[in-house]
Amino acid sequence: MPAFVYNRNLLKRLHYLQGQLHGIENMMLEHRPPEDINIQLSAVEHAFHNLVYEVFFEFLQKNAALLFSRLLDKFAGCPKIFETLDNIRKNFHTYTVYQLPSIINILCELDHIGDKKEPE
């Protein structure tokens, strides 16, 4: 598999997160109130989820169209599966970061149907 080239913006976000975490560590060492630390932790959590979302979506943008095209061709003769795949493709942008890994796993499993040959 070829190396994946990440957008520079993603690396900047990662460095920003590292800085935020270092700042939280300093706040704890300074015995700052839990309310102050919680605000920063919430900001880190939000930034982290955005980073995961962007990394995942950058990958998907490069690979999802190919996967959907292959699956739609593969299941063109199966109306229910074809309709389900087309529905997922049309609504792909509405899924959350938490839902997408499961959806991708299902799509990859569908892609491998028929690839394994039964022993004779």
Residue 78 exposed, middle or buried by CB count within 10 Å (0-12, 13-18, 19+) = exposed
**37 within 8 A of 28, measured Cβ to Cβ:** yes
CB within 8 A of 98, min separation 6: which ones?
none
What's residue 1's pLDDT?
44
Answer whether residue 117 shows pLDDT above 60: no
Report residue 17's pLDDT band, with 50, 70 and 90 as the boundaries. very high
Q: Pick the most confident of 17-31, 57-71, 104-118.
A: 17-31
Q: How many whole angstroms separate alpha carbon 37 and alpha carbon 23?
A: 9
Top pLDDT among 90 and 63 is at 90
Phi, psi of 113 (to 5 degrees): -60, 130
**Residue 71 in contact with residue 111, Cβ under 8 Å?**
yes
The CATH fold assigned to 8-111 is Methane Monooxygenase Hydroxylase; Chain G, domain 1 (1.20.58)
Averaged confidence pLDDT in the chain: 83
DSSP 119: P
* Of 17, 73, 63, residue with least CA distance to 41: 17
Residue 61: per-residue pLDDT: 66
